[in-house]
Amino acid sequence: MPANKTGASPQETGPKSGKKKGRRARLLVITLVLLFVAGVGYGAYWGVDTVRASFPQTSGSVQLKGLSGQVQVKRDDKGIPQIYADNAEDLFRAQGFVQAQDRFWEMDVRRHMTAGRLSEMFGSGQVKTDAFLRTMGWRQVAQKEYDTKLSASTKKNLQAYSDGVNAYLKDHKGKALSAEYAALDFQNDYKPEKWDPVDSVAWLKAMAWDLRGNMQDEIDRSLASTRLSAKQIEELYPPYPYGRNKPIVEGGAVNSLTKQFDPKATAGSGTTTGNGGTQGNSGKGLTQGLHNGLNTLSSKISSVPALLGPSGNGIGSNSWVVSGKYTTTGKPLLANDPHLAPQMPSLWYQMGLHCNKVSASCPYDVAGYTFSGMPGVVIGHNQDIAWGMTNLGADVSDLYLEKVTADTYLFDGKQKPFTTRKETIKVAGGRDRVITVRSTNNGPIVSDRDSELVKVGQNAPVKDPAPDRADGYAVALRWTALNPGKSMDAVFELNQATDFDSFRKAARDFQVPSQNLIYADTKGTIGYQAPGQIPVRGKGGTKGDGRYPAPGWDPAYQWKGYIPQSELPWEKNPKSGYIVTANQAVVDKDKYPYPLTDDWGYGARSQRINDLIQSKIKDGGKISTDDMQKMQMDSSSEIAKLLTPYLLKIDLGSLHLKAKETQYIRDAQKLLEGWDYTQEPDSAAAAYFNAVWRNTLKLAFGNKLPKELRVEGQCLRVKPTNDSGPAEDLNGNTRLVTECGQREPDQAQPDGGDRWFEVVRNILKKPDSEWWKTSGTRTNPGARNRDDLLAHAMKDARWELTSKLGKDVNSWSWGRLHQLTLKNQTLGKEGPGFVQFLLNRGPWNLGGGEAAVDASGWNAAGGYDVVWVPSMRMVVNLADLDKSRWINLTGASGHAYNAHYYDQTDMWARGELLPWAYSSDAVKKATKDSLVLKP
């Protein structure tokens, strides 16, 4: 295949043959090494020595080159470090050293991922992932940020951090760094490079990718067009229910004269408002026929978050802040629990960074959660303020179809030359691969990274044909995170902020990922700010909504700029006395002039938190720290409240089963009688309801979706689409073909999130909706209406749980179905069983569920296993910071078999929080190990 089409040549992407064979050989070597590491057989002594060699020194003293004075590292009984230094440079140098002690393997893997260099560590199996990451150019953008955007003080902090990491690397190699490096020594000659400041900056790109907004929805809507009409697709993406689930900011408007968002303004004179939210065009004309290419692009996109976590509507978070007016302390209480993929070790790293004397030259006295490999604190509090984050979900990325020739792309009627660059991918144990990255004015051509993507747009019905119509369109990605920004500056500015004004000033630089930032301070102020670089689109539908891939050759669909930071929504001390952000709509679209997105979370969690707060403060009630912690573990199911009354009324006689079989289903149905809709781990009712919900979605929607959205291996006999042959056989009879699903279980649809709550809500009172009808067979008639389908779902759920949990319904429990296994993000995911046994931990039986406040999410299409979690939890007490509480998903250490590898997980699963010592006296009292770093 020539390289002058939309796909790269085989020489660029590398051969496919031998990949599995090489991977098996590599894993065999790793298995043998880890057998020794575990202390099995002849290598027992060597194995114990290898495991312990990487454990960090946490007491006594260590010389750290470059320090200007002594630094103290105090660890509590969970190994959480609090660092004390006389100046900022020493503080961040020590932070780099300490994080390298605990988590360098994780740091090293992360920087190789963000740079598209995983093949250097793990061999040829990672070439395609590296090629995709190189095409996006995360590392390249991070370098530009460092060179041209970041402040001198930020660069100084980053360099100090890097020096600390490198000081640790100088004296620790191979097994002394981590047991995984002992394994790699047997695989190849890999040796870690020195840490670079840009390695830290690049990690923000990975987080932005994880929280990038609606790109997957944009793809899914396009793929769905092969089976569903435009009207049906819109029914599966209903508008946000503003009248039922409150947005974050309920009032306010943009003043058309001052160009400022005024949280106290009302729509009308002097303000600009939205247009009421037309949905935009369906995109049918441009997206029909894109499914082959977009499906491959989807799988390529999802292979990157596999290292960070599954994308989808589970990626979100809860945060809320309550004014002292309604708290038992008289000062604000702030809670936060970001929802991300479960990882081993946790994505987050807890620590405190303290200047011995806070001054202009050393302004840090901050504690909270950060990322291994990055200086500063991302979420937490200092001596004056606390802040939390949830994903805003703004639409910050678009896919553009591009008409291309060998060397050019079409724009505004003219052929433009590609911007190109060569990238060399080094491969452990193999030959280098060279790829060519091509970019248009819209961004890199991501479709070049897989040969199947040359089919993109092959059948798209457009008025003017593409050049070389046989290969159709290429696909370019425009994404705000590919613009150099100042988010790293914002991290340090947040750490130093002392009041709401300085907090908002810091937020202005937090460009990607776009987050909801909540705020509280020790003086009693609470607040909210929506930051981020959010595009203003041209056409993109009738109102620039970016819901479907856009024609890159048409200037009318270009981005027109970005929403001015001064016009982004915010509020301070609202009349309600509290602020809730849980991925719901930020502001009513009728009151705001800019489209942020139509793909919000649908507000099930946020409204439940609102209701819980209201129930506590009505009639003069007050909220305590214990109450905030209890709210974080609320497992009430909003869809169960809606659907259960219908299930209890179902006449199971319509199934025409034998009496004994009918009784089996009635036994399960009775579990729902009197159920309070909470999803505790020991609840049989929660187990049965969630199984019914899963089967309802499968029957009503899942079996009607195209193969590209269904679970991999799930095969159905269906009518053919355009790409699977004629609709009739030679005799004129309707043909059926076998189509098998292609999505990973944690990425498939219908995922069961609160978008699907809204879809079902909209048809529950329409018992004859086409969605309720299914095809059947002579022996197993399909559903004719809502009650038929629900009866079938109840039957299928009964048989499913019988096979999984046993015949006796009273022995069922939600936790036995809904389990969490923590997996090492590299060798623990694809390695042989024994490797996984060594590195992974679990399972834990969990409560909570999809779109519950205790959001232990699961994908209804794929099964019941937990695929995203509250990755940490915290409650900050602004009246007495030492009475704040926190917990991490795993522990401080990334070293398997270290005492702090997962010593917080049992408490986390029970909903418990650890005391959070902050003041020097409290930290001193909590200290179990103290290490002095000396110049």
Residues whose CB is less than 8 angstroms from the CB of residue 549 and which lie 6 or more positions away in sequence, other chains included: 218, 222, 283, 286, 287, 290, 294, 398, 399, 400, 401, 475
Question: Whose CA is closest to 177, among 884, 766, 895?
Answer: 895
Q: Which helix (H) or strand (E) holds 380?
A: strand 379-381
Per-residue pLDDT, 315: 60
How many C-beta atoms lie closer than 10 Å to residue 701's C-beta?
22
Cα separations (Å) of 800 from 563, 745, 776, 864? 50, 17, 19, 12
Per-residue pLDDT, 17: 40
* 513 prior amide bond cis, ω within 30: yes
Contact 873, 887 (CB under 8 A): yes
**Secondary structure in 3-state letters for 66-120:** CCCCCEEEEECCCCCEEEEECCHHHHHHHHHHHHHHHHHHHHHHHHHHHCCCCHH
pLDDT tens column, 95-116: 999 999 999 999 999 999 999 9
Bridge partners of 355, per DSSP, are 85
Which residues of the chain have a pLDDT value below 50? 1-22, 24-25, 28-46, 269, 275-293, 305, 314, 451-470, 541-544
Cα separations (Å) of 720 from 236, 705, 736, 762? 22, 13, 6, 29
Q: How far apart are CA 9 and CA 202, in angstroms?
A: 29
* 564 prior amide bond cis, ω within 30: no
Q: How far apart are CA 416 and CA 559, in angstroms?
A: 18
SS3 assignment, position 480 = helix
Question: Whose CA is closest to 534, among 507, 505, 506, 568?
Answer: 568
Q: How far apart are CA 556 and CA 394, in angstroms?
A: 21
Side chain identity at residue 562, one-letter code: Y
* 531 prior amide bond cis, ω within 30: no
Q: How far apart are CA 738 and CA 145, in angstroms?
A: 50
Question: Whose CA is closest to 376, among 147, 144, 83, 75?
Answer: 83
Cα separations (Å) of 123 from 12, 25, 26, 320? 16, 11, 8, 44
pLDDT tens column, 858-891: 999 999 999 999 999 999 999 999 999 999 999 9
The b-or-e profile of 436-460 (16+ CB within 10 A means b, else e) is bbbbbbbbbbbbbbbbebbbbbbeb
List the structure tokens of 239. Answer: 């508008």
φ, ψ at 759 (rounded to 5°): -60, -50
The b-or-e profile of 242-272 (16+ CB within 10 A means b, else e) is beebbbbbebbbbbeeeeebbbebebeeebb
Q: How far apart are CA 862 and CA 415, in angstroms?
A: 45
List the structure tokens of 743. Answer: 């999505």
Per-residue pLDDT, 460: 33
Q: How far apart are CA 877 and CA 332, in angstroms?
A: 7
List the structure tokens of 567. Answer: 């016009």
Residues whose CB is less than 8 angstroms from the CB of residue 106 and which lie 6 or more positions away in sequence, other chains included: 345, 372, 373, 825, 894
